[in-house]
Amino acid sequence: MPVFSPLTLPNGSHLSNRIAKASMEENMADAGQAPSEELITLYRAWGQGGSGLLLSGNVMVDARAMTGPGGVVLDAHSDLAPFRRWAEAGRSAGAQFWLQLNHPGRQMQANLGQPVVAPSAVALDMGSASRLFATPRELTESDIQALMQRFVISARRAQEAGFDGVQIHAAHGYLLSQFLSPLTNRRNDKRGGSLANRASLLLDIVSAVRQAVGPSFGVGVKINSADFQRGGFDVDDARWVVEQLNLLPVDLIELSGGSYEAPAMQGQARDGRTLQREAYFLEFARDIATESRIPVMVTGGIRRQPVAEQVLDGGAQLVGMATALAIDPALPTRWQRGEEIAPSLRPVTWSNKVLASLANMAMVKFQLRRLSRGQPSNPQVAPSWALLREQLRTARLTRRYRRLMASRQSALDS
């Protein structure tokens, strides 16, 4: 199927083509956790680059629960003015722009100084890097009800700010993904045990969000095609969840994979399987997509137009691209002009898989910083240099975040 054919979503809205800018964690909020001018500039570049759909990086539903210290937060107290400018920038050339809503659960670094929660008190297993993450507290049912309301509030406020939709993040080992996996959800109440119980929170949130935003606003879900860990959430589980989502008014399902422990979203598995270098979730997504009555988006390593079209021929309706668009935000426009290009970063060949994963993410973020300043990308940046810069920047943002949270606590105490 041609990537430049239009797509009509179940809510009746239209995408001009089948290319979606998939989520990448930008960590470019301003000091108050709102979209910064740099972030707005970045999305203007993507908005004018020819993609049919833009999905934001993590937008957090709770300021105390962050995937990174520079993340954007959209909650009941957020000033919507910068969000409106952000939405206008992304939509400036006709693309739809959706916010990805997320809660990290146990995947939040301990040095952020906030309490960590999860379905069960199961710590991350990342070898020597495990010490960077605290053992989480198990959520109570009242905590879960409050969490559901946070997703609803964030979705409603995204709609008020002018975005076209939201994507509920239930992949990559974050909180809703943790509920789905038997490795991280060891509860013995109605939220644990069977897959139906483990999936109940995701399905409840989707239903509540849809009720809050009405039928015309986009509502999507991102799930793992598999966790790529033995005994974890697998392809059969993903197929069952898709069957349940078929019964709800959902507009898009994105299939990805992995977690901090097994970063398959970067082409690395932990269960012995070897992933393809490009379109590495296609094999796992093909069977799942045939079960879906909802448009399916497949993300993971895609950087060439023939591979993108292979993904569409394999049953997906939308191709998600991340790193390639961090290197060249105008890649869809260039493909449409007939240019045969396949942007890629310098390979990271380090034997330490955790460090290699961090370096790869740092190299992507290096490109995002340059684009946010109106500069061209530099895909040949050295992994060690990008990682050093990102570590220094993260340390600075962590100090800023801790000061912000301390000042907010002080205001509450006074």
Instruction: Report the greatest alpha carbon distance in the chain.
Output: 62
In contact, 383 and 359? CB cutoff 8 Å: yes
Rounded Cα distance between 270 and 258, Å, is: 9
Q: Evaluate if residue 129 carries a pLDDT over 90.
A: no
In a domain, 334, yes or no: yes
In a domain, 375, yes or no: no
In contact, 247 and 207? CB cutoff 8 Å: no
- Segment 280-298, tens digit of pLDDT: 566 667 777 777 899 999 8
Split at pLDDT 50, 70, 90, the class of 226 is: low
Rounded Cα distance between 10 and 396, Å, is: 43
Split at pLDDT 50, 70, 90, the class of 167 is: very high
Q: How far apart are the first and last CA of the chain?
A: 61
In contact, 208 and 152? CB cutoff 8 Å: yes
pLDDT of residue 288: 77
pLDDT of residue 338: 96
Parent domain of 156? 7-345
In contact, 115 and 62? CB cutoff 8 Å: no
Rounded Cα distance between 74 and 150, Å, is: 9
Burial class (CB in 10 A: 0-12, 13-18, 19+), 392: exposed
Higher-scoring residue by pLDDT: 339, 224: 339
Total count of domains within the chain: 1
In a domain, 350, yes or no: no
pLDDT above 90 as % of the chain: 79
pLDDT of residue 261: 66
> What is the mean predicted confidence (pLDDT) over 77-93?
98
Rounded Cα distance between 68 and 386, Å, is: 17
In a domain, 359, yes or no: no
In a domain, 197, yes or no: yes
pLDDT of residue 374: 96
> What is the mean predicted confidence (pLDDT) over 118-131?
87
Rounded Cα distance between 211 and 286, Å, is: 30
Q: Evaluate if residue 300 carries a pLDDT over 90.
A: no
pLDDT of residue 263: 55
In contact, 345 and 379? CB cutoff 8 Å: yes
pLDDT of residue 352: 87
* Residue 272, domain CATH: 3.20.20.70
The DSSP 8-state label assigned to residue 96 in this structure reads E
List, in sequence order, every beta strand (DSSP E) within 143-196: 165-170
In a domain, 393, yes or no: no
Helices (H), 167-199: 175-180, 195-198
CA 358 from centroid of its chain's CA atoms: 16
For residue 100, what are the β-bridge partners? 58, 167
In a domain, 410, yes or no: no
User: Residue 413: enclosing H or E segment and its boundaries?
Assistant: helix 383-413
Q: State the chain's mean pLDDT as an integer.
A: 91
Best-predicted range by mean pLDDT among 117-126, 214-223, 303-312?
Answer: 214-223
In a domain, 406, yes or no: no
Task: Report the predicted TM-score, pTM, of the whole model to 2 decimal places.
Answer: 0.93
Rounded Cα distance between 44 and 33, Å, is: 19
Rounded Cα distance between 16 and 23, Å, is: 19
Q: Are strands 7-8 and 252-256 parallel, antiparallel or unpaired?
A: unpaired
Structure tokens at 41: 């500039």
> What is the mean predicted confidence (pLDDT) over 347-368?
92
In contact, 285 and 242? CB cutoff 8 Å: no
In contact, 104 and 124? CB cutoff 8 Å: no
